[in-house]
Amino acid sequence: MKTRYFLTSVEKMTKADIQRVMEIELASFSAPWSKKMFLSELADAPFSLSYVARERQSCRIVGYIIFRIVFDDLSVMNLAVDPAYRKQGIGGELIRFAMRIGQASGARKATLEVRATNLVAQNLYRKFGFREVGCRPNYYDRPTEHALVFEYGVDCVL
């Protein structure tokens, strides 16, 4: 059984975090975001919120979440956990964190897209009350794949 890591903090992502975030991104996705995309979320996207999760003992970044809140809608743009730290509750903590910020900001629903073959992520989202509401054909590339659209009513308490 793996040791469960408890986070000391979920903190705003900074430019200094980007190198580590990129390591996790490249290990997590076949079509990863570029460094420029992350920097754009930090600097140029007025509704974007970017956070990193740190492991308690080392303060090492072990995951991150980027989401946007526009009016009453929270959109999860990107979420990843370092493969060595998966299945320890970190992804769930990041989702809970984003949902609490969404609720405090007046968001009434949350949406996200997930690869149709990413059953692990789909199960995580379902565990937190997200439900599949649609499909975006050929949304992803490398490989080409449909995205499933998930939605959650943020009015619910997590």
CA angle 63, 122, 41 (to 5 degrees): 40
Residue 32 lies in a domain: yes
Active site (annotated) includes residue 125: yes
pLDDT band of 5, cuts 50, 70, 90 = low
Q: What confidence score (pLDDT) does residue 8 get?
A: 66
% of the chain surpassing 70 pLDDT: 92
Which of the following is catalytic: 25, 113, 140, 145? Answer: 113
Q: Is 146 exposed, middle or buried (0-12, 13-18, 19+ CB in 10 A)?
A: middle
Say which residue, 52 or 3, is predicted with more confidence: 52
Sign of CA dihedral 67, 72, 73, 74: positive
Residue 158, domain member (yes or no): no
Is position 126 within any domain?
A: yes
E strands in the chain: 7-12, 48-55, 61-70, 73-81, 109-115, 131-140, 145-152
Tell whether the model's pLDDT for residue 82 goes beyond 90: yes
Q: In the chain, how many domains are there?
A: 1
Catalytic residue among 125, 140, 145, 152: 125
Q: Domain of 90: which CATH number?
A: 3.40.630.30
Q: Which domain holds residue 64?
A: 7-152
In degrees and rounded to multiples of 5, residue 40 shows phi and psi of -65, -40
Instruction: Please indicate whether residue 145 is annotated as part of the active site.
Output: no
Q: How far apart are CA 85 and CA 43, in angstroms?
A: 28
What pLDDT score does 157 carry?
Answer: 47
76 assigned to some structural domain: yes
Contact (CB, 8 A) for 123 and 65: no
